[in-house]
Chains A and B, each alone.
Chain A
Amino acid sequence: MPVDPSEDFARAICSDKWDEATGEMSASLFKGENTSVSRLALCPLDETWDLFHRQVEKPPERTLRRIGTMNVGRLQQIGQGFPANPTALTVEPDPLPDFRSHAVIPEKISRGLANAIIRELTVHEENPS
């Protein structure tokens, strides 16, 4: 059963998709299919930092730079309202043994739609601890 539209999700933004010198993100963050996200209802944002550090920093030179968050319902509105190719987007639970909050956006997302999603992403920076 798809994740409820009232939930929020988080997407890891790593050094291959984030250019520190320009502060720009790659459209390939969402372009394509089976985009991996984490459900904030199961793992709150402050715990998601540690989770993503463990999951995505492979090799260690690939570093987590930011986390992007969005409401599932808003994602669906952006997909349906994308004029070039309206797309029905869902977030499907896909729990993994060491990543229970894991979910995927299974649908294929075009570059234009990926850009539209990125424009509305809330981007978080890690608090120095």
Chain B
Amino acid sequence: MDILAPTAPYTTSSHFLSGTGDSSPGRVRCFEPGEAARERLILSKLGKSGWGRWQYFRQCFSGGWGERRQKPLSPRSQEVFFSTLATLDIPEQATPSLFLTDDGHIELAWRDADGRAVQIEFGAATSELYLESEGFEATVPNRDLPDLLRERLPA
């Protein structure tokens, strides 16, 4: 008997938000320590949509994926993403988007009050900040990211 049931085909992040659809066979999952805290954090900062995107990346992009066997979601990228998210002030009117890059990094993006892009890519060793309003683009070691965000994205 298979322990791991196959994931249902053609599901997107909306699948993880639907409470009304037919239930699909679940995979056996090990919950990591601190997962509940991460779930609370992402729900409070990015809402159900952000939570659904994160679950989608974790569950569907854990192996090689795409036409060029792109990299799986990086655990280190997730760590940096969550530690940053805990202190990040995203404007209330903003609707944040969450992406997965081909390097397996989480990318968080939203638009400022003037509709200009704010983007942060969380890498394993370095992270990248882009501010369209200033034409600013910088890559810094992860240990310097909090300072850069405090300087460039004041509350």
How many Å lie between the Cα of A62 and that of B7 in the bound state? Answer: 12
Question: Size class of B's contact patch?
Answer: 35 or more
Q: Which of A40-48, A67-75, A108-116, A121-129 contacts its partner? A: A108-116
Enumerate chain A residues within 8 angstroms of B96, measured Cβ to Cβ: 22
Interface check B41, CB cutoff 8 A:
no
Contact of A61 among B10, B97, B128, B132 (CB under 8 A): B10
Nearest A residue to B136 via CB reads A112
Most buried by B among A22, A110, A115: A22
Inter-chain contact B107/A61, CB cutoff 8 Å: no
Nearest A residue to B95 via CB reads A22
Enumerate chain B residues within 8 angstroms of A16, measured Cβ to Cβ: 57, 61, 65-66, 99-100
How many Å lie between the Cα of A22 and that of B107 in the bound state? Answer: 14
Given the interface contacts A24-B97, A111-B119, does A59 sit within 8 Å of B102 by beta carbon?
no
Inter-chain contact B98/A63, CB cutoff 8 Å: no
Inter-chain contact A26/B10, CB cutoff 8 Å: no
Inter-chain contact B135/A21, CB cutoff 8 Å: no
Enumerate chain B residues within 8 angstroms of A87, measured Cβ to Cβ: none
Q: Give the Cβ gap from B87 to chain A, nearest Cβ, in Å.
A: 23
User: 1/0 per position for B60-91, CB-CB distance to A under 8 A?
Assistant: 11010111100000000000000000000000
Interface check A66, CB cutoff 8 A:
no
How many Å lie between the Cα of A55 and that of B68 in the bound state? Answer: 9
Q: Give the Cβ gap from B95 to chain A, nearest Cβ, in Å.
A: 5
Enumerate chain A residues within 8 angstroms of B103, measured Cβ to Cβ: 32
Inter-chain contact B7/A61, CB cutoff 8 Å: yes
Nearest A residue to B59 via CB reads A61
Q: Can you report 11 A-B residue pairs in the complex whose CB atoms are below 8 A from each other?
A: A16-B57, A16-B66, A16-B99, A22-B96, A22-B97, A26-B109, A28-B121, A31-B101, A58-B66, A111-B137, A115-B130
Q: Which 6 A-B pairs have the closest CB atoms?
A: A26-B99, A19-B97, A61-B60, A21-B49, A28-B101, A16-B100
Sample of 14 further A-B pairs with CB below 8 A, known A26-B109, A56-B66: A15-B56, A16-B57, A20-B14, A22-B97, A26-B107, A27-B107, A27-B117, A28-B121, A56-B67, A58-B66, A59-B60, A59-B65, A63-B10, A112-B130
